Amino acid sequence: MNISALPERGLARKPFGRTTDGVPVDLYTLTNSNAMQAAITNYGGTVVTLIVPDRQGRPADVVLGYESLDGYLADSPYFGSIIGRYGNRIGKGRFTLDGKEYTLAQNDNDNHLHGGIKGFDKAVWQAKGSLAGKDPTLVLTYLSKDGEEGYQGNLAVTVRYVLTDDNELVIHYEATTDKPTPVNLTNHSYFNLAGQGAGDILGHELMINADRFTPVDEGLIPTGELRSVTGTPMDFRKPTAIGARINRDDEQLCFGGGYDHNWVLNKRGREMSLAARVYEPSSGRMMEVFTTEPGIQLYCGNFLDGSLVGKASKVYEHRYGLCLETQHFPDSPSKPNFPSTIVKPDEKYSTTTMYKFSIK
């Protein structure tokens, strides 16, 4: 690659379009010293592009998405977005807290998924780019009002994206509330380390640092069991191609249409630890996911079917991207044995996840 063509470290902003209500949104491009770039819009806090070099130094965009806001407004299965107030499902859109039952928006059959009909992925966030610290940073804030999608409490949310010179995209999530509420924030990027639109992700080799997973029922709601991965297609403790066992006759894979499950990470507490590692052999790109969260959802684009056309006119076919969503476990508000997701007025919600890129 022509060295003089490398983009300079910095932060740039340009218009990205207007919402259907006419609200203008922007695209912020963070560039580090190695020409790695993350372009993020304040519509949904969405990671629109992520440019990462391969083992020859050739850059490619490794996330699925759209070139302009219109694509996201028209139809997006949460490509790259911040998910909230609650990542993944809450069964029947109902939970009980302090003896009172709450009813949430049902947007996935009779379940509540990814925050409801208008989750944080569809909100326009206040944005502030900064180069003042060591690394290019985008700070996004959003006030989720009391009653939004059925949740009580005004929830003030801050998400900070930082791109470091060690090729890490770090995401800090913070929130405070004035009434007790479940909170479970994540990012829904669909990765393809060979480059977006380049094919399916079945050849990606995956390691998940987890001895157990949370099995689900046919509606993808956890049963409450923490089940050992031993002897199942869920055992990714040793790096294994995602496609190696995906067609096995297995009840869990059948319910998910492939992998669409939460793993219980091996860790002591809330420390930042390695959750997963993905390697794509043809490009040599590797991504490691570190998090303070107790769980991670692997979703393999099982619902992509070639009907969405994304950046550079790429058609997103079945399993063209994989999501590794760091999180608390789905349906925790109704599962007393899962780590609690309830945030109280005198507490601060604070989690960090880092996607670190390298080559092998």
Catalytic residues: 188, 325
Q: Which residue is nearest to ligand BGC (CB)?
A: 77
254: enclosing H helix or E strand: helix 251-256
- Of residues 213 through 242, those in contact with ligand BGC by CB under 6 A are 220
Q: Hey, is 348 helix, strand or coil?
A: coil
Q: Give the nearer residue to ligand BGC in terms of CB position, either 140 or 216.
A: 216
Q: Give the nearer residue to ligand BGC in terms of CB position, either 31 or 184.
A: 184
Q: Give the nearer residue to ligand BGC in terms of CB position, either 88 or 283.
A: 88
- Of residues 313 through 332, those in contact with ligand BGC by CB under 6 A are 323, 325
Shortest spacing between CB 188 and ligand BGC, in angstroms: 6
Shortest spacing between CB 114 and ligand BGC, in angstroms: 6
Cα angle at 8 between 12 and 79, to 5 degrees? 50
Radius of gyration of the chain (CA): 19
- Applying CB under 6 A, the site for ligand BGC has a residue count of 10
* Stretch of 35-43, 148-156, 157-165, 295-303 lying at the interface with ligand BGC (CB under 6 A): 295-303
* Stretch of 45-53, 67-75, 147-155, 296-304 lying at the interface with ligand BGC (CB under 6 A): 296-304
Q: Give the nearer residue to ligand BGC in terms of CB position, either 88 or 176.
A: 88
Which of 88, 109, 115, 6 has its CA nearest to residue 51?
A: 6
- Of residues 259 through 288, those in contact with ligand BGC by CB under 6 A are 260
Binding to ligand BGC by CB under 6 A, coded x per residue (else -) over 58-97, reads -------------------xx---------x---------
Give the DSSP letter of residue 5: G
Count helices and strands in the chain by DSSP H and E runs: 2, 29
The Cα–Cα gap between 281 and 38 comes to: 23
Q: Give the nearer residue to ligand BGC in terms of CB position, either 42 or 187.
A: 187
Q: CB–CB of 321/259 below 8 Å? A: no
Q: Which of 299, 316, 329, 355 binds ligand BGC (CB under 6 A)?
A: 299
Shortest spacing between CB 240 and ligand BGC, in angstroms: 20
End-to-end CA distance of the chain: give it in Å, rounded. 19
Binding to ligand BGC by CB under 6 A, coded x per residue (else -) over 117-156, reads ----------------------------------------
The Cα–Cα gap between 182 and 202 comes to: 34
Shortest spacing between CB 108 and ligand BGC, in angstroms: 7
Shortest spacing between CB 101 and ligand BGC, in angstroms: 25
Q: Hey, is 4 helix, strand or coil?
A: helix
Shortest spacing between CB 218 and ligand BGC, in angstroms: 12
Output the CA–CA distances (angstroms, integers) from residue 129 to 25, 135, 140, in the order listed.
14, 11, 9
The Cα–Cα gap between 71 and 222 comes to: 32
Shortest spacing between CB 67 and ligand BGC, in angstroms: 20
Q: Give the nearer residue to ligand BGC in terms of CB position, either 31 or 189.
A: 189
Which of 85, 80, 284 has its CA nearest to residue 193?
A: 284
Q: Which of 303, 340, 345, 360 binds ligand BGC (CB under 6 A)?
A: 303
* Strand pairing category for 295-299 and 260-265: antiparallel
Give the DSSP letter of residue 184: B
- Of residues 166 through 205, those in contact with ligand BGC by CB under 6 A are none
70: enclosing H helix or E strand: helix 69-74
Return phi, psi of residue 136, to 5°.
Answer: -55, 130
Which of 274, 298, 269 has its CA nearest to residue 209?
A: 274
Q: Give the nearer residue to ligand BGC in terms of CB position, either 78 or 161.
A: 78
Q: What residue ranges bind ligand BGC (CB under 6 A)?
A: 77-78, 88, 220, 260, 297, 299, 303, 323, 325
